[in-house]
Structure 1
Amino acid sequence: MATEAQALEAGIAACRAGDFGKARHLLEAALAVAPQAVAGWAALGQACARQGDHAAASRALQRAIAIDPQSSALRLNWAFVLRVQGDAPAARRELLAILQREPGNALAHYNLGNLLLELREADAAEQHYQAALAHAPGNTEARYNLACLWRDRGDVSAALALLREVLAQAPRHAGAWHNLAGCHRALGDWPAARDGYRQALTIEDSALSRYALATLDLLEARWQSGWAGYEARWQACGIAEPAIALERWQGAAVAPTARLLIIAEQGFGDVLQFVRFVPALRTRFAHVTLVCPTPLWRLLAASLGDTVTVLDAIPAQDGYTHWLPLMSLARALKIDEAALAAYATPYLRSTQPPTRFETGRRRIGLCWTGSTTQADNARRSVPLGLLRQLATVPGVCWHNLQQGKGQEASAAGFELVDDSGSWRDFDDTAAYMAGLDLILTSCTSVAHLAGALGKPVWLMSRFDADWRWLLDRDDSPWYPSLRLFRQPRPGDWPAVVAAVAQAINAP
């Protein structure tokens, strides 16, 4: 018996020390002969969970709970395992049951807040984070998660204050420094944002912080450091790079027979923005192939096809010597504002003639939101209720450029000519836009398409603009035909719409 007890104690000690493999080995042996040792089952559950074996962790914790059904600590751990396994309803029931018995259990409130946030029930999550802090003011992670929730909701100043409290408690909290930087950035305090990202990186080499700092570099026209840091985008965004077994081109001179494969990436707007660099690569490579999404294929093949092969699927790699993701071209080519000027616009053209409209009125295309899959889409989208006032501008016929959302505009009281149902791809959209007099858009692929076509385009931008639009200017080196209307303060879309209305009415 003494040996069994020693093995059990050694297993629990190994678990506390973080040696989970050893802990599991010792505990499984000890529990085979002492199956009523609840502390052993609890430690075994923790060891299995930390190894990623959540099924075994669940079994161990259920054994422990069967011995001590009143233990809130055991049920908290089991709820966590259920959540990780994807059984959110069961995890929720366990946590609510704990709180029914112990309304002041701060850890149960905290864990339920985390679960509800994953379930996109932000208001309920906020209540439980607040309750956790009311019962345990020292719960740093509850305070941190609440701050992140407020930041995501747009309560940036409140989030900033709460993150400062987190850092007062935990000065080396890398996530708090990163999100503090994000709050400063949203408020236009660029030096404080830069300092926050750098502080985060001194604590933890996070791809997300490197990527965020890179986009801040680009926003401030620190082009070369920005492009270098921008290579962290894959890891930061949780996206796997294409598995291409070729040498990655970094901008160096190559043999006259070299053949380059370029893979498009990220959103449609990113492809439209960076594809300008592709044709000139024929002066460096014997052959250049661009792989792009199918909805862009007709447009890009028509625009680049004289010098570049455009495909909508990755070909066999044995015909190539080098490859590169499309947005890495800027780093390889050392693009800055001066270099960008060599890539003239327009550089795209539709396979079709411009759509013809009746004369007599100015025709303006409108796009007010982007892909809902983009995390910050809500912040870049202009409320239709505000845009509705533009419908009364005399002499203007408004056209919908938001494919599939014409009825949404009508429901908001803004009647638009809606021909978008007939568009098959970006080539159709480009031909339609070519017949319009002006494009008015939020920060979406429509802005890039219009700029690449050389069409007059007005972009309505949030206060902390996307990195592409730089700072303190209403023009863009990327698109000479583009004019920027920036929020004068965070969230001030009414001022933007008023400025657009005034500009439309100007002689």
Structure 2
Amino acid sequence: MPVTTPLEPPPANTDAAPEANERGAALAHQGRFREAAAAFDEACDFDPENADGFSNLGVVLRRLNDLNGAIVQFEEAIRLRPEFAEAHYNLGNAYSALGESTLAAERYRAALTYRSDYAEAWNNLARLLNETGHHAEALEACTEGLRHTPDNPNLHNNTGNAYQGLGRYGEAVREYKIAVEAAPGMSEAYSNLGLALKETGHLEAAVQVHKKAMELSPTDVGTLTNYGSALQAAAETESAIAIFERALSLDPDSMAAKINLATALMDQLEVNRAIEIFEGIVDGVALGDELPEHALAHKNLGLSLLLKGEYEAGIRHYAWRWETPDFTPRETALPLRGGEDLNGEEVVVLNEQGLGDTVQFTRFAQGIVARGGRPVFEVPQSLAPLIVQADNVHRVIREGEALPETGLHIPMFDLLGIFAGHLRGNAPYIVADPDKAERWSDRIPETGRKRIGLVWAGRPTHRNDRNRSVNLEAFLPLLRLTDFDFYSLQVGDHAADIEEAGLSSDLIDLSPRLTGFSETAAALSQIDLLISVDTAAVHVAGALGRPVWALIPYAPDWRWGLEGDATAWYQSVQLWRQPEPQDWKSVIARLSDALAPPEKKKGRRKS
């Protein structure tokens, strides 16, 4: 065989390398990245021991979206100079762009090992930690970064993100304000500030801040979507819809904009259009390729179908709630399915929703018993003394107590999918404690006048509280009626509204003695009629079989359906619906007319 001489690499031309590097840098500055890459490649050929050349080549390859090629160059730069902090940092950026979070974090930390004051590395490490849910670690990274560069707006922004992820919204607001003061053109920080203000209930301020973010980044779909969400929370639904549609005109595939648009349409009762959008999202993804947004679309589609009374299909889609951030799946024993004979086995119903939901779904104990099971309800502490007295409930487990390791378990909401037939005809299914009811008969005595209970506000942190709660002053037309005794069953901070509105002589405050739902049930047993917004009090009264007039917002919760003044859930509850969003005035006028004819409305109630 012929003998060939091995090819030797060309001799290094270290004198030419700097010129090629300078040329590459100039081309990159002009945005001519392909030509810049060729120049940096030349520099590496001229001087294969020059780590800067390989790092520069990696940077422009990343700009050309050749991430794998960029990684090769950064790794070579680090091989040549292990302490090259910038190369570690840029390698971290490349890994981050590929979704390799663990590898990216390793590179950022390596960069900081060699250069502890590297603000960009601290910031990107914090950003990555926030994105992966490690908010406490992100906060530590930001704190260390700010020790070196205390006025860095990006680090303050990421500090705000960490606080927001930890649920510390007030501190998040503070950090975002520092960020926008340091960088008035930083739309991302304005947008994040708006999100935090929204969480703290400062909706008008949130709208204004999001508007500023939109003015700074008018074509950024995420910024527009956040602005629309703030408008929706502030009950400016038509404006929100217009913003979401604008976002979709820029990016028709934006999942967040689609979901928010559909949710806003639900607030306008354009239910079928909303369902069409949700279905388009869930039908447009292959099994196994689902993203978190798809789970949210499934969940919201489920609620939309439930609102229409399509319970079977609604529950099927709502099962996706466990894949959304608001729900945490629980490891349990054998799950209850539909159809099996329970043969005296305990069925543990796992609490997962609000207080009113727990009362509402306790009715399904009847279905479990009908199948031969023994219902065990996990309930909040405040509800335990009431639910333990419910019909067919075998026993209760207070939240925080250990669950039995044997028996069947089922999330509370899933009962609807199995026992939806057990709706009509089973109220009342809760009774008031007889001893407590007797004590309350002295506190709410018979006077010959009709005794009316009033609840005007729900839990302020409820996502729909702005729409469901009513200012106490709006009930003045009722409180001025004669021949009625009015009692407040309002608890929480809003109980103070009575004194603040100067209505102590018109409305007897029972809140000091309403120390739990068992006491509330006993008080309701002495009331002739409860008038209440959509809160747990409606469910307790309905489960007791006591007369209730429930004030339902224009966009109702799924359980109340789209129309009608009756509900399958409680025979004693009558629904009074808003004809238009935010219109409680006409609803209360109708209540007043129903309670008393016009001649009874002259003058104030006499005691």
For Structure 1 versus Structure 2, the TM-score category normalised by the shorter chain is 0.7 to 0.9
| Paired position in structure 2 for 1:42 | 120
Once the two structures are superposed, what CA deviation does each residue of 1:172-203 show, in whole Å capped at 9, x if it has no partner? 11111111112211112111121232344347
2:240 matched to 1:159?
A: yes
CA displacement at 1:480 relative to structure 2: 1.2
Once the two structures are superposed, what CA deviation does each residue of 1:392-425 show, in whole Å capped at 9, x if it has no partner? 1221111111135444124324421223322332
Residues 285-364 of structure 1: pairs in structure 2 closer than 5 A: 285=372, 287-304=374-391, 308-312=394-398, 317=403, 320-333=406-419, 335-336=420-421, 339-341=422-424, 343-352=425-434, 353=437, 355-356=440-441, 357-364=445-452
| Paired position in structure 1 for 2:37 | none
Change in CA separation of 1:269 and 1:7 when aligned onto 2, cut-off 3 Å? same
Distance in 2 (CA, whole Å) between partners of 1:303 and 1:15 is 58
2:504 matched to 1:412?
A: no
* Aligned residue among 75, 79, 89 for 2:156: 79
CA displacement at 1:486 relative to structure 2: 0.4
Alignment check: 8 A CA contact 1:177 1:199 kept: no
Distance in 2 (CA, whole Å) between partners of 1:59 and 1:299 is 48
Change in CA separation of 1:437 and 1:428 when aligned onto 2, cut-off 3 Å? same
| Paired position in structure 1 for 2:455 | 367
Once the two structures are superposed, what CA deviation does each residue of 1:353-405 show, in whole Å capped at 9, x if it has no partner? 45431231111111111112212112101221111111112211111111354
- Residue identity matched to 2:427: T
Change in CA separation of 1:372 and 1:330 when aligned onto 2, cut-off 3 Å? same
CA displacement at 1:499 relative to structure 2: 0.9
Deviates more, 1:247-256 or 1:160-169: 247-256
Alignment check: 8 A CA contact 1:410 1:416 kept: no
Distance in 1 (CA, whole Å) between partners of 2:469 and 2:111 is 60
Q: Determine helix, strand or coil for the equivalent of 1:232.
A: helix
- Residue identity matched to 1:209: A
Alignment check: 8 A CA contact 2:428 2:544 kept: yes
CA displacement at 1:58 relative to structure 2: 4.1
Q: Determine helix, strand or coil for the equivalent of 1:498.
A: helix
- Residue identity matched to 1:187: Q
Distance in 1 (CA, whole Å) between partners of 2:113 and 2:460 is 52
Distance in 2 (CA, whole Å) between partners of 1:304 and 1:460 is 27
Q: Determine helix, strand or coil for the equivalent of 2:396.
A: strand
- Residue identity matched to 2:279: R
* Aligned residue among 480, 483, 506 for 1:395: 483
Change in CA separation of 1:119 and 1:455 when aligned onto 2, cut-off 3 Å? closer
- Residue identity matched to 1:412: A
2:463 matched to 1:379?
A: no
Distance in 1 (CA, whole Å) between partners of 2:527 and 2:139 is 59
Distance in 2 (CA, whole Å) between partners of 1:358 and 1:118 is 44
CA displacement at 1:438 relative to structure 2: 0.9
| Paired position in structure 2 for 1:238 | 326
Question: What's the Cα RMSD here?
Answer: 3.2
| Paired position in structure 1 for 2:178 | 93
Q: Determine helix, strand or coil for the equivalent of 2:508.
A: coil
- Unaligned residue ranges in structure 2 (runs of 5+): 1-48, 59-73, 75-86, 131-136, 164-170, 286-290, 599-607
Residues 422-501 of structure 1: pairs in structure 2 closer than 5 A: 422-501=513-592
Distance in 2 (CA, whole Å) between partners of 1:251 and 1:311 is 23
- Residue identity matched to 1:362: K
Distance in 2 (CA, whole Å) between partners of 1:294 and 1:82 is 35
Q: Determine helix, strand or coil for the equivalent of 1:247.
A: coil
Alignment check: 8 A CA contact 1:349 1:453 kept: yes
Q: Determine helix, strand or coil for the equivalent of 2:377.
A: strand
* Aligned residue among 253, 257, 268 for 1:187: 268
Change in CA separation of 1:382 and 1:309 when aligned onto 2, cut-off 3 Å? same
| Paired position in structure 2 for 1:72 | none
- Residue identity matched to 2:384: W
| Paired position in structure 2 for 1:249 | 336
Q: Determine helix, strand or coil for the equivalent of 2:554.
A: coil
Change in CA separation of 1:277 and 1:176 when aligned onto 2, cut-off 3 Å? same
- Residue identity matched to 1:192: R
Alignment check: 8 A CA contact 1:182 1:193 kept: yes
- Residue identity matched to 1:211: K
- Residue identity matched to 2:490: Q
Count of aligned positions: 487
Distance in 1 (CA, whole Å) between partners of 2:594 and 2:325 is 38
Once the two structures are superposed, what CA deviation does each residue of 1:220-279 show, in whole Å capped at 9, x if it has no partner? 1101011222323444462324443x1010123145253322233322211111111114
- Unaligned residue ranges in structure 1 (runs of 5+): 70-74
Q: Determine helix, strand or coil for the equivalent of 2:369.
A: helix
- Residue identity matched to 1:80: N
Counting aligned pairs with the same residue, the percent is 25
Change in CA separation of 1:438 and 1:111 when aligned onto 2, cut-off 3 Å? closer
Distance in 2 (CA, whole Å) between partners of 1:3 and 1:138 is 39
Alignment check: 8 A CA contact 2:302 2:314 kept: yes
| Paired position in structure 1 for 2:300 | 212
Distance in 2 (CA, whole Å) between partners of 1:166 and 1:237 is 23
Q: Which has the higher contact order (CA 8 A, sep 6+)?
A: 1
Q: Determine helix, strand or coil for the equivalent of 1:84.
A: helix
Change in CA separation of 1:147 and 1:350 when aligned onto 2, cut-off 3 Å? same
Alignment check: 8 A CA contact 1:365 1:399 kept: yes
Which of the pair has more CA radius of gyration?
2
Change in CA separation of 1:373 and 1:116 when aligned onto 2, cut-off 3 Å? closer
Alignment check: 8 A CA contact 2:153 2:178 kept: no
Q: Determine helix, strand or coil for the equivalent of 2:388.
A: helix
2:351 matched to 1:272?
A: no
Change in CA separation of 1:109 and 1:378 when aligned onto 2, cut-off 3 Å? closer
Q: Determine helix, strand or coil for the equivalent of 1:278.
A: helix
Change in CA separation of 1:96 and 1:263 when aligned onto 2, cut-off 3 Å? same
